[in-house]
């Protein structure tokens, strides 16, 4: 994994879950996630690893803190935690518990799914993302992750309104990494798209083989299509 010269690595919960025959978004449990992280850290050759721990694999703040502490014991240096099924206030309590338990040993990237839910106008989504981001930073997060925020105006407003590194997802056909950086984005994530592309190559190669021809250019499977398979 280090052959690209990347200075750090980040995991994807979807990619790990699908590799184990499980759906993303709750199908992967704490033990499966930690076992996969142990293997990833083991082959990373000392390259820093940030782990996608979804909602923390626990109902209580203490359980979320325990999940992060266990990941740190494996050598992980950063985590993504998402609000998802929790209210912003509940999620902030989980973030505060992680910070209290783990101190400065971990970089906490707090993800809000407000744009993924997509309810409301862009201005409303930006306003709510900023409210949540500030709440999460006040609870101990180091950065804010807003997946699915794609327009230049929304991203510029988020970057300018948060006193912390902003993380967004790279959208196919959307803004380039250079354009995102110019808007103030500090971290770009592929999310599940690399895993989607890899599975698409396998699907198309298998279909071509059954049809007696060489593999055609792959048409990527989408997140929903892949997740429904597990």
In the block, tokens 């699915």 appear at: 148
Rounded-to-integer distance, Cα 106 and Cα 227, Å: 30
pLDDT of amino acid 2: 43
pLDDT of amino acid 3: 57
pLDDT of amino acid 218: 57
* Average pLDDT per block of 10 residues along the chain, 230 residues long: 76 93 91 96 94 96 98 98 96 98 97 88 93 98 96 97 97 92 96 88 84 64 76
pLDDT of amino acid 79: 98
β partners of residue 189: 169
pLDDT of amino acid 219: 63
Query: What Rg value do the Cα atoms of the chain yield, rounded?
Result: 18
Containing H/E element for 197? helix 193-211
Rounded-to-integer distance, Cα 199 and Cα 216, Å: 14
β partners of residue 91: none
In contact, 216 and 210? CB cutoff 8 Å: no
CA-CA distances (angstroms) from residue 173 to 150, 176, 215?
10, 8, 24
**Domain segments of the chain as ranges:** 2-192, 193-230
In contact, 30 and 52? CB cutoff 8 Å: no
Strands (DSSP E) found in the chain: 9-10, 49-52, 78-82, 107-111, 143-145, 166-169, 187-189
What b/e readout covers 200-228, taking b as 16+ CB neighbours within 10 angstroms? beebbeeeeeeeeeeeeebebbebeebbe
Phi, psi (degrees; rounded to nearest 5) at 4: -80, -10
Q: Which CATH class is domain 2-192?
A: alpha beta
State the burial class of residue 62 (Cβ atoms within 10 Å of its Cβ: 0-12, 13-18, 19+). middle
């Amino acid at each position: 994994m280090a052959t690209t010269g990347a200075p750090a690595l980040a995991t994807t919960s979807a990619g790990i879950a699908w590799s184990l025959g499980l759906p993303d978004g709750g199908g992967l449990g704490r033990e499966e996630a930690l076992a996969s992280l142990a293997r990833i850290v083991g082959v990373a050759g000392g390259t820093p690893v940030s782990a996608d721990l979804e909602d923390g694999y626990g109902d209580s703040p203490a359980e979320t803190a325990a999940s992060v502490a266990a990941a740190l014991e494996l050598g992980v240096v950063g985590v993504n935690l998402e609000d998802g099924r929790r209210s912003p206030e509940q999620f902030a309590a989980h973030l505060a518990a992680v910070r209290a338990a783990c101190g400065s040993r971990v970089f906490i990237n707090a993800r809000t799914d407000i744009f993924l839910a997509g309810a409301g106008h862009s201005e409303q989504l930006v306003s709510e993302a900023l409210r949540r981001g500030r709440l999460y930073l006040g609870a101990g997060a180091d950065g804010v992750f807003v997946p699915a925020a794609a327009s230049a105006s929304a991203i510029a407003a988020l970057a300018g309104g948060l006193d912390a590194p902003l993380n967004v997802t790279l959208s196919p056909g959307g803004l380039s990494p250079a354009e995102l950086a110019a808007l103030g984005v500090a971290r770009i994530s592929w999310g599940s798209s690399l895993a989607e592309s890899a599975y698409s190559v396998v699907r198309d190669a298998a279909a071509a083989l059954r049809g007696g021809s060489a593999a055609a250019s792959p048409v990527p499977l989408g997140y929903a299509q892949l997740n429904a398979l597990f």
